[in-house]
Amino acid sequence: MKTDKEIVELSRSGPSIFGELYDRHAPDIYRYAARRAGDFAAEDVMAETFLIAFERRAGFTGPAEAVRPWLFGIATNLLRRHHRAEARMLRALVRNSSRGDTAGGLEAVDAQVDADGDRSRIGAALQALAPIDREAILLYAWADLTYDGIATAAGVPVGTVRSRINRARRKLRADLGFALFDEMDSDHGRTAPAARNA
């Protein structure tokens, strides 16, 4: 199986192979864009991401593992243009719409109310984050990128990514009243240090 970088390189002389990169990563880009800007924008963001990547493929020089963050970086830049749509989506979450199918009985209604309440609180907490912090935490949580991948996508040093995610996590914890990303609480994405007496 070809690596992402091999596909990019081969596509310079045989453009049709670029479709393999699309098949491999388009669903993830779509899901990320849909979470950030809603389904109505996701299709456009996904398509434009791969169009831009195709047009810029000659300039890609990173390692194989940098292709996916490179694609998410393009998508993130496009999503910035959709910021107003994102803000509308988050405001909609805050409004805590209770519309939907409630035909499943009282338990279903309770579950729906609880879910709506959680979405409303999370939406409000995400909306309250600084845009650069929100972008970093969503690339981590929704795009499943590593700190290095987020650094590539955002075009910032990995230390900046750690700071942004740590700041976002602290604010979300304070706003929501419970710990998010507990597995990262103490190590900030780094390998745990050895015990001093080890």
Distance CA 85, CA 92 (A): 11
pLDDT at residue 179, as a whole number: 52
How confident is the model at residue 96, as a pLDDT? Answer: 55
Residue in 7, 25, 123, 137 with CA at minimum distance from that of residue 75: 25
Report pLDDT for 114: 61
The whole-number pLDDT of residue 180 equals 52
Give pLDDT, residue 89. 66
Residue 176: per-residue pLDDT: 83
> Which token pair is 124?
């409000």
- So what's the pLDDT on residue 85? 62
* Identity of residue 17: I
Model pTM score? 0.64
Q: In terms of C-beta density within 10 A (0-12 exposed, 13-18 middle, 19 or more buried), how is residue 52 classed?
A: middle
Residues of the chain where predicted confidence (pLDDT) is lower than 70: 83-90, 94-118, 178-198
